[in-house]
Every structure is written in C-alpha cells, then in structure tokens.
Amino acid sequence: MSTPMLIEGKGLTKSFGGLAAVRGVDFHLSEGQIVGLIGPNGAGKTTLFNLVSGVFHSDTGILLYKGMNITRLKPFEICRLGVARTFQIVRPFLKMSCLENTLVGIIGRNNKNGGREERREEAQKLLKFIGLGKSGQTLASHLTLIEKKRLEMARALATRPKLLLLDEVLAGLNPSEIIQALELIEVIRTQLKVTIFWIEHVMGAIMKASDRIIVLDQGEKIKEGIPEEVVSDPRVIDAYLGESDA
C-alpha cells in the first residue's frame, strides 16, 4: 500500500441481543478508491455503515480514520471529521426545502466560512451540481424517490466529506438513470476527490465502478478482492444462491 490509509476497521463486532450482525470484520480504504460492499440481505452491510458513521458503537474492535481512533465518536463528530453518508431508506428533512436540506450539511461543518449569503450560494451550487438546481424552494416531501436520493447526496457533499458512504443509491433506478448516477459518482470521486464506500445490490454497476469489493455474509467478511476475483469465488456464489457447504 503506497497510498495513505483513509479509514481502517479492525475486528469490528456488533451484536444485537446475542445475534452478531457484524462479526470480526476488517476493512480499509485508501484515498481516492471506490470500494464496494456486497452481500445477501441481512449480511450486516448497513450495520457496518452504522458503525463507521457512529450511529452504533462496536462492541469490540477499533476504527481508525487517518490513523485517529474514532471508535467511540458520535455521528456529528465523525461527520465533522469528513465522513458523510446517505441512507438505504432515504431520510431527507421532509418538511424543509431542498436548499434548507443542503444548508444543514454546510452549517454542520466546523469550517463554515463566509456569511449567510455565501452559504446559501454554496448550497444552491451543490443542488445544481447534483441536478436539483431548479428545486431549491421545493419541499423535500414533494420530490420523487430518485430526487430524494440526489438531495441526500447533496446534503452529504455539503459537509465536504473525504469519505462518502453510499447505501444502495442505485436501488429503484432505471438503466438510464443508473448510467447518470454512475457518471455523477465518478465526478464526485475525481473532481471532488472523495473516497467512496458503497453498498449496492445492482451487481453490474458496482462491479464496473469499484476498485475492490468486500463481501459480507451473516456478519462475516467472506471475500475481498478485485471484482473479477470476487464474482468467480465459489463461497460468494454460494452465499448469493443461499447454499451452505455445511
């Protein structure tokens, strides 16, 4: 590894009432990478994201961000360090306008720079970038699902993340929308220099976009590698087909 490590988890375990949702998972992302996180339903993917973003704290294991221990930090502290996320089931602020939604991300930053007007302009620019330029005054509850997903992305980007956690942003999109979304994510990676950790069920897309894939099954990491390796691995195929080698 020549590139510096951005985030690293070692032996992360999280149990809910005796059931280990995530068990002894190691992972790491270097700056500029796109890493895909896949696995069948209930594999612990979203739980792992919740650990990384501080929504839950792991029972054992350690989480390092730029070498700093962030295992016990709260969500807003982790966000301010530079880790932003979207949610599998979208959670925009429904009773607020798109502009206000985006502003919240800017206000949450340690470094707000400029006055109120400049922050509004920045939010408007972000909305335009994400493709919601004309919806600034629209209430988030009036948006379509796809637009809500875009809005969440704008809010996440407003926090100026170094690492972006995307939780099934492609679900429910049609093929042409998927192509648009992939282009957008590529721009986020190259132009905004954001590292991306990405849960996805749309296999074709995630295989194409990712530098590396991590596969979870029943809370454990069963495979990690480049997309070509992963798809041909018999354990991964078993996990997806629901067969057991026991």
Partner 1 sequence: MNTKKYAIPLIFVILALFPPFFLSQYWLHVMIISLFYAMMASSWNLIAGYTGQISFAHAAFSGVGAYASGMLAVNLGVAPWLGVLIGTGVAAFLGIGLGYLCIRMGGIYLSLTTLGFSEILRIVITNEDKWTRGTMGLQVPGFFTVYSKTSYYYLFLGVTVLFLILIHRIIHSEMGLTFRAVLNDELAASSSGINTIRVRVLAFTLSSAMAGLAGGLYGHYLMLITPDIPSLGQMFLVLAMAVIGGMGSFAGPVIGAFALEILSEYIRIYGEYHVLLFGLIALAMARFAPEGVMGILHKGWRSKLIDVRG
CB 98 within 8 A of CB 141: no
Considering only 38-46, 76-84, 185-193, 233-241, which stretch makes contact with partner 1 by CB under 8 A?
76-84
Please identify, using beta-carbon distances, which residue of 112 and 208 lies nearer to partner 1.
112
The rounded distance, in Å, linking the Cα atoms of 103 and 159 is 9
Question: Does position 134 bind partner 1 by CB under 8 A?
Answer: no
**What are the structure tokens assigned to 207, written together?**
């295989």
Please select the residue that binds partner 1; options are 21, 38, 143, 158, rule is CB under 8 A. Answer: 158
Q: Which residue has the tokens 């087909």?
A: 241
- Rule CB under 8 A: say whether 167 interacts with partner 1: no
SS3 readout for 121-149: HHHHHHHHHHCCCCCCCCEHHHCCHHHHH
Is residue 156 involved in binding partner 1 (CB under 8 A)?
Answer: yes
**Amino acid residing at 191:** Q
Indicate whether 129 belongs to the interface with partner 1 (CB under 8 A): no
The residue type at 37: L
Sign of CA dihedral 135, 138, 141, 142: negative
- 20 residue type, one letter: A
Residue 97 DSSP label: B
Tell me the site size for partner 1, rule CB under 8 A: 30
Angle, alpha carbons 15-19-23 (nearest 5°): 55
Does 55 contact partner 1 by CB under 8 A?
A: yes
In whole angstroms, the minimum distance from the beta carbon of 86 to partner 1 comes to 9
Residue 108 in contact with partner 1, rule: CB under 8 A? yes
Largest alpha-carbon pair distance within the chain?
Answer: 62
96 binds partner 1 per the rule CB under 8 A = yes
Single out the residue of 2, 95, 191, 228 in contact with partner 1 (rule: CB under 8 A). Answer: 95
Per CB under 8 A, does 192 bind partner 1? no
Q: Cite the beta strand spans of the chain per DSSP E.
A: 5-16, 19-30, 34-38, 60-65, 68-69, 83-85, 163-167, 195-199, 212-217, 220-225
Applying CB under 8 A, does 85 fall inside the site for partner 1?
yes
Q: Which of 28, 109, 162, 201 binds partner 1 (CB under 8 A)?
A: 109
Compare residues 29 and 158 and give the one whose CB is closer to partner 1: 158
Q: Which residues bind partner 1 (CB under 8 A)?
A: 53, 55, 74-76, 79-80, 84-85, 87, 91-96, 100, 103-105, 107-109, 116, 119, 137, 155-156, 158-159
